[in-house]
Amino acid sequence: MIIYLRRTDEHSYISFLENDFLVSQHWLNRQVRAEMDIVKGIIRFYALRRADWKKHRLIKTIKFNVKK
């Protein structure tokens, strides 16, 4: 598992691994934790919030395969 911490841009995208990912139309300029499960080939995006820092709400799950 690989974890990325990113901030979405003004259009709700984050960038890593030379790709741009749309996270959520409702999560503009906010912190996101992206968990990449290489074995299952999926990325899960979680909302990071200071108010509730012990729980991170799952925003989106997508399929993604790492190119070898």
Each residue of 12-55: pLDDT tens digit? 999 988 899 999 988 899 999 999 999 999 999 999 877 776 78
**Residue numbers of the domain that contains 32:** 2-63
Whether pLDDT at 56 is above 80: yes
| Cα(14)–Cα(9) distance, integer angstroms | 7
Q: Is residue 35 part of a domain?
A: yes
User: Which residues are bridge partners to 7 per DSSP?
Assistant: 31
In this predicted structure, what is the pLDDT of residue 50?
73
Q: How many domains does the chain have?
A: 1
pTM confidence score: 0.85
Q: Is residue 7 part of a domain?
A: yes
In this predicted structure, what is the pLDDT of residue 68?
59
Q: Is residue 68 part of a domain?
A: no
In this predicted structure, what is the pLDDT of residue 9?
95
Q: Is residue 24 part of a domain?
A: yes
User: Which residues are bridge partners to 4 per DSSP?
Assistant: 34
Whether pLDDT at 8 is above 90: yes
| Cα(21)–Cα(58) distance, integer angstroms | 15
Q: Is residue 9 part of a domain?
A: yes
